[in-house]
Chain A
């Protein structure tokens, strides 16, 4: 496309169907402790 570059797979809906295994890290354990920062967590199954 000429007017737009899409940067990612837009797979959020798909992840809702496949997701929810709960094995991912609890976000507050990594560094924050005072703010909720979820989108920077990794999916435990992302590379499987």
Chain B
């Protein structure tokens, strides 16, 4: 299976099952339209191809292109077979739990209009996680992580800084227990910054490998969607703190992360606003919301969103070339040393490798399922969790999703977000189409950026 597209004056060809990325000239690009899979190399270019293409290209170029295509096929770089499907069918993953998202606070000091957690309470009662529950979560992950060494803990909310003493206690407990049990804990915290101060910054910088700073971009964009409880804006309060903590972490191991909605479809300007402010690690993602919401993105928005990704990618390349680099999460791609095929088959790990712990200790497949009783898996308090739900998620991979079968992006997105699939289509194996469209465009842009960098 191949995918070819043109972007930024390059003809890009992806060989899906080998992961090869090629930039080809016009002659080879056009020739690929005549070649069907499974491809069988002939001694020389078939005459009907020569006849057709010689209207536009020289016969020498046509024959050379054909020979080079045959060479790529021989080297396993083009029209490669799918060798993963059989493997996926008989896959006994034996997953272990390696990451927890701890809902430190089911409460928030902002009233963001698009929050999937309601306004922090996850459609249940407001409440804080106790240190005891947090420690039980640490015991739970140690007990269920098998031989896995690296364990990730994300302090999430609501707003985790509203319950920071507990964050500190859990962190210290995890570090102590990690040493005893041969585990390395890596901590992330996601915050809106309102309560960020010097003490918290110091603790976060000493203990956390990543911090996600929630901000949507330009002041008017941010303040419209992310007001305080009293309705006032947050940008002016938060920005200096975020700039400060980003600098204090040497502009690495953090993301300033926003959401774009129907109210800022020109989101490339928000990403560039971050970059202009001096942030080097950025992420701005499409809102996920039912079409009934006024801020939701819909299929009608696809052309504009695509245009924005291209605009952003073009500027991204320009800034990289001029030495004024910044990183955009969704354009990060490593063509040589990205994740292995096994990881790409199986996706994010929600429900079996990655679980969310609600403030009261209840376990769910991921943060987006918290509060949905159909997906309540158990509790860290007794340490048991529902293996049937876990298996349902474990068995899901790109080969259990029909929509992924002929999609070129399947090894880049791994079949998409299970929660989005469930929320829109009622089945974790039926991906949410709008997210698929955006993802495909991002993958195309990300690869084109790498191509532009490599080709100078």
Interface residue ranges, A against B (CB under 8 Å): 1-13, 15-16, 18-20, 22-44, 46-47
A4:B28 contact, CB within 8 angstroms: yes
Interface residue ranges, B against A (CB under 8 Å): 13, 15, 17-25, 27-28, 61, 64-65, 68, 71-72, 75-77, 80, 83-84, 87, 95-96, 98-99, 101, 116, 148-150, 152, 154, 186, 188, 190, 210, 212, 255, 257, 259, 283, 285-288, 329-330, 332-344, 347-350, 353-354, 366-368, 411-418, 420, 435, 438-439, 443, 446, 450-451, 454-455
B72:A23 contact, CB within 8 angstroms: no
- In the bound assembly, the distance between CA atoms of A2 and B66 in angstroms comes to 11
A32:B443 contact, CB within 8 angstroms: no
Q: Which residues of A contact B336 (CB under 8 A)?
A: 8-9, 11
Q: Which residues of A contact B259 (CB under 8 A)?
A: 34
- In the bound assembly, the distance between CA atoms of A47 and B334 in angstroms comes to 13
Q: Which residues of A contact B18 (CB under 8 A)?
A: 10-13
Interface contacts (Cβ under 8 Å), in number, total 213
The 4 closest A-B CB pairs, nearest first, are A19-B340, A12-B19, A10-B20, A20-B342
**Residue contacts A-B, CB under 8 angstroms, 29 given:** A3-B28, A10-B15, A10-B18, A12-B17, A12-B18, A12-B341, A13-B76, A13-B341, A16-B341, A16-B342, A22-B353, A30-B329, A31-B257, A32-B285, A32-B329, A34-B368, A35-B285, A35-B288, A35-B330, A35-B413, A36-B413, A37-B439, A38-B339, A39-B411, A40-B330, A40-B338, A43-B338, A43-B343, A44-B150
A28:B450 contact, CB within 8 angstroms: no
A sample of 16 more A-B contacts (CB under 8 A), given A31-B257, A36-B347, A38-B348, is A1-B68, A7-B21, A7-B335, A7-B450, A7-B454, A11-B19, A15-B339, A15-B341, A16-B84, A20-B343, A25-B99, A30-B210, A35-B438, A36-B348, A38-B414, A44-B150
Q: Which residues of B contact A8 (CB under 8 A)?
A: 19-21, 335-336
